[in-house]
Chains A and B, each alone.
Chain A
């Protein structure tokens, strides 16, 4: 995978714009400050990245969304299972500590949050960069962090040994929630998008 410095810079700006929108939408939904910020956009080696993630044995709940269209992309939002209880209470306007175990409400909330994040990420790319991006229904899964990450990068890893990864930091109000949002675009389609707006890659 080859991408110029300028190309990477544009990808970073695109990611920042879409993630800012997702952040605002999440704040509105939860009626509390939710701040998602882009921490890095980088090209990673498939084996090296997954090797690092395979050391992460935390039990997480995650939602994965597949985007179809001319900019194929995958999104994974994941957080520790205990953190999903806090999000459930915030989302359902319940007093903190009401949700004590993972149940169908927690699953629905996480699925809905995945939907909201995916819709706003895609809206930004569609309106600002003339992409066609259709989010598929989100899928919720509980597993080790490393397993979820491996599944996120698997399809892209079939086509290339290198991955374009967008990693974010995530803060929700004053809750110390460690959440992770990853975006993995199909490199070929993202290149087309850059080409559309006149950036040589």
Chain B
């Protein structure tokens, strides 16, 4: 990564889109981090979803895969200037964390829904690292499209 970039952190249920030479990072537990990248225009975004489907009346649509992901794709193309045909996706997270969450395996449900939507939208997933029981620390370099992923207690991998 070069030295001139800004690193932006993405919170839970949040979406950030930026361009090269910036980078995006987040921490993931049972949430899924979806990366969309346009390697031609060097535009990329990171969506941190919590749940597969929106049920309640809360206004933050980026917390949910079924509302956040279509919004993310639309925003990448119409506002950020990404080319729809050039977009590819990478997905991370979906771990099964504390048993006490009482959420069964929310990570798995999140991943299933994300894959279904990306498939419907015709966006291919070029790499994915999901599951397990530990948290993920991911850093996405918009310039190269590389994602440095470190799972707690494991060595660093690049996707």
Contacts and interface: CB of A to CB of B under 8 A. Distances in A.
A151 B102 CA distance: 11
Contacts of A57: 27, 137
B9 A136 contact: no
A66 B60 CA distance: 25
B98 interface: yes
Pick the most buried of A66, A147, A155, A158: most chain B CB atoms within 10 A of its CB.
A147
Contacts, number: 106
Interface in A143-198: 143-144, 146-148, 150-151, 153-155, 157-161
Interface residues of B, number: 33
B27 A144 contact: yes
Contacts of A153: 12
Interface string B1-17: 00000000111111000
Contacts of B10: 51, 54
A51 B13 contact: no
Contacts of A48: 11
B26 interface: yes
A155 B97 CA distance: 13
Pick the most buried of B14, B98, B99, B134: most chain A CB atoms within 10 A of its CB.
B98
A54 B150 CA distance: 14
Interface string A124-157: 0000000000001011011110111011011101
A160 B56 CA distance: 9
